Amino acid sequence: MTGNSIFRPAEETATCRWSEVPVLAYKETDSAPFREVTRQVLFEGGPLACQLRYFEVAPGGHTTLERHAHVHGVMVLRGHGHCLVGDRILSLATQDLVYIPALIWHQFRAAAEVPLGFLCMVNTERDRPELPSPIELAALRADPAIAAFIQT
Ligand code: MN
């Protein structure tokens, strides 16, 4: 997205799409487990030291269960679902804001019948996500609610 200063929502669809913004795979590699997620990079580079992405999780889908030293600032734009943040499972609806602190396990899941679309702001320079080891997964699953929620 260069040249213009404003990009309107694409009019032919009710979904969150923007002109000149390609819809990408959620992750570059398929080494991390996830299901039915797309990624659009809305702002990055230049004088901004951050990147603003829009992720959309299809009904029943989920992002990767992960943690990392960088933080996320999230705003839900569409649909609803839940997210795990540390030891809490939060219900998510449109316009909710979620802050994911450093080194906290997190995962987003769409509701069964509707997608979950959210903006996610990150630093441009950031570490790679880490997946839970078998020991860490067992520790997470010690909480029955978390065991029922997480997808790996
Ligand atoms: Mn993350």
Q: Within 10 A of 85 (CB to CB), how many other CB atoms are there?
A: 18
CATH value at residue 122: 2.60.120.10
In angstroms, the CA 91 to CA 31 distance is: 28
Hey, is 91 helix, strand or coil? strand
What does the pLDDT read at residue 28?
64
**Domain count across the chain:** 1
Structural domain range at position 135:
10-149
* pTM score over 0.85: yes
**Spacing, Cα 12 to ligand 1 middle (Å):** 31
Q: How far apart are the first and last CA of the chain?
A: 34
Q: How far is the CA of 6 from the centre of ligand 1 (A)?
A: 28
Per the structure block, which two tokens stand in for 37? 């997620």
Q: Which segments of the chain have a pLDDT < 70?
A: 1-3, 8-14, 28-30
CA–CA distance, 105 with 20 (Å, rounded to integer): 33
Ordered DSSP codes for 52-67: EEEEEEEEEEE---BB
Percentage of residues in the chain with pLDDT exceeding 90? Answer: 78
Inside any domain, residue 3: no
SS3 136: helix
* pLDDT tens digits, 96-132: 999 999 999 999 999 999 999 999 999 999 999 999 9
Residue 11 CA to ligand 1 center (angstroms) comes to 30
Ligand 1 mean position to 101 CA, how many Å? 10
Instruction: Write out the catalytic residue numbers.
Output: 120
